[in-house]
Amino acid sequence: MSKRVLTQTLKQIICLCMVAVVIAPILLTFFAALKTKADMATTSPLLLPAWDRVTFENFQDVLTDKYLLLGFKNTGIILIISLFFNVMFGTVTAFIIERFQFKGKNIVVGLFFMGMLIPTFVTEIARFQVIQGLHLYNTIWAPIVIYVASDLMQLYIYRQFISGLSVSLDEAALLDGCSYFGLFVRIIFPLLAPATATVCIIKAINIINDMYIPYLYMPKNKLRTLTTFLMNYANAQQGSWQTLAAGIIIIMIPTIAIYIFFQKYILAGVAAGAVKE
């Protein structure tokens, strides 16, 4: 066997192992969601139940919980508002940094990226005090403010993309009498569509999967999100692993759907602007 064939085989084995590590927990959870409580105790977790014993009652129990719909509603509100302000602030800030020269620009950029390097848990006490000082604690606006202000990933993506856009576009628009505001709204922002799609997808997945911030800043039952619903549901279903597995599968559906349908935009948006001609 040649060295090249051996290398390719080894790469494929490593990739298959990585896929198995990711897929196996999802399959085991799905198998458990289709089992009765008796089957959970008598059958292997690696196997599906017999076809005549497959049940969907576990999913029905989860779907009839009154807090599930509330979780979808609250998560949707937080998601839409957070993404809107992330896109608006991210595009404007990246445009100003990339296209304008001003005193202290390097300091501003350095502070932005320093904020990305500092773990959020280090500043948790200060952040909690700020949220309380703004009277946002136990309101749906607390996580929205945090998601908009604390994650600067979109700034990096937009800067990379704008740096790949020709300055000639700006010059031509300004010569035609376009203002800087018009330049941004009519030319720059529409060209940022791939980067915007990437930012929205990545942030949407992070927000949907986040349990820490909603749990800490919105303890009210009426403010439950999908993740805090699942956490409380798990506490209420102690010993009922098959019902809990069904809840996990249902909560996973939005994230999986978003990633499957829009994964090409993630790769395109991250890579866009990374290489200059």
Q: Give residue-wise pLDDT tens across range 150-207.
A: 777 888 888 888 888 888 888 888 888 888 888 888 888 988 888 888 888 888 888 9
Residue 34 pLDDT: 86
Which pLDDT band holds residue 120 (cuts at 50, 70, 90)? confident
- Cβ within 8 Å of residue 95, ≥6 positions away: 158, 162, 184, 188
Task: Please determine, for residue 273, whether its predicted confidence score (pLDDT) is greater than 60.
Answer: no
Which pLDDT band holds residue 276 (cuts at 50, 70, 90)? very low
C-alpha–C-alpha distance, residues 96 and 150, integer Å = 19
Domain span(s) for CATH 1.10.3720.10 in the chain: 65-271
Its pTM stands at 0.81
Amino acid at 19: V
| Percent of the chain clearing pLDDT 70 (strictly above) | 92
C-alpha–C-alpha distance, residues 224 and 215, integer Å = 8
Task: Please determine, for residue 240, whether its predicted confidence score (pLDDT) is greater than 90.
Answer: no
121-158 pLDDT, tens digit per residue, is 778 888 899 999 999 999 999 999 999 887 778 888 88
Task: Please determine, for residue 277, whether its predicted confidence score (pLDDT) is greater than 60.
Answer: no
Q: For 1-14, b where at least 16 C-beta lie within 10 A, e where not — what string?
A: eeeeeeeeeeeeee
Q: Which CATH number fits domain 65-271: 3.40.30.10, 3.30.2350.10, 1.10.760.10, 1.10.3720.10?
A: 1.10.3720.10
Residue 252 pLDDT: 86
Task: Please determine, for residue 275, whether its predicted confidence score (pLDDT) is greater than 70.
Answer: no
Mean pLDDT, range 16-40, rounded to an integer:
85
What are the helix and strand counts (H, E) for the chain? 15, 0
C-alpha–C-alpha distance, residues 93 and 153, integer Å = 12
C-alpha–C-alpha distance, residues 93 and 107, integer Å = 14
